Structure formats: C-alpha cells, structure tokens
Amino acid sequence: MVQLLVPPSNASGVVSSGDAAQLKGRLAALGRQAGLVVNMTPGGANTLLYIAAELGNAQAVSYLLADGADGRAHPITNYCPLYIACYRGHVDVAALLLAYFPTAAQQETVEKWLPLHAACIGGHPSIVNLLLNYSYPESMLNTYK
C-alpha cells in the first residue's frame, strides 16, 4: 500500500502557493512514488503540472517534470499544461514543457484550439515565435503544398 505523504488537496495548495522549495521537499519525501501524486486528478481536478504551468512557476514545473509528471490534458476540456502556459504568456514554462512534450503543440482542446491559438488569443508574440520556430522531432513535421 502506498502511503501518500502529500495528500492531493494539500499538494495543489503547495503548488498554488508558489513554494517550489516546499514542493521539492515533499516530492523527495515520496521518493519513487512521487509520480503517483504528480499525475493525480482527484474529482476531475487539474494535475499539479497544469496548476504550476498556469501560475507560471517554472521551478515547480521543473520539479514536477523531474518526478514523472506526464503532461496529460484535462479529460473534459483537453487543455494541457502547454496550452495554459501559452495562454497565460509563460514563455519559460512553455519552453520547458515543449522540451518534455513536443507533441503537446498538436494537442487540440474541445474547441479545436492548439497552444498556438492560445498564444495568439492571449497576445503573446514571444510564445508564438517559440512555437513556430521550435525544433520539433522529424516525426511531427508535415509538408503542405
């Protein structure tokens, strides 16, 4: 049985508070089981990675990624952490997420919007530039004529 040293509700509070150092300590205390907590979505809530991306907390995003956060999209909205980081204008977080999950740039929301749309809607030209000029894996590239 897994003993959760960071109850999900408390973990989201730690992320929401912006205290990346406390988050790091709690994740370290969980050891190999941290991946179970970082990817939880209790009651349809957002993942810790999504919350950190929305707040623009690059240090927390980095810790969560290192502990196995998988970048999943919300099951109802299909909003992924990259989408919300692009919408909110957090270029450093978007760059981190692209490094781990480049295919998230192709993740559509229920409205059929991409992270590129989110950056445009939010008025964030630096993120538009990042998304358009990122070195995506060859397997993601398409040629149109």
- What's the pLDDT tens digit per position in 22-46? 888 888 887 777 777 788 877 778 8
Residue range 45-57: mean pLDDT, rounded:
92
pTM (2 d.p.): 0.85
Residue position matching structure tokens 């408390």: 10
Q: How far apart are the first and last CA of the chain?
A: 56
105: left (phi over 0), alpha (psi -120 to 50) or beta: alpha
The residue behind tokens 């790091």 is: 24
At the top level of CATH, the class of 8-136 is mainly alpha
Classify residue 110 as exposed, middle or buried by CB count within 10 Å of its CB (0-12, 13-18, 19+). exposed
How much is the pLDDT for 21? Answer: 78
Cα(43)–Cα(62) distance, integer angstroms: 25
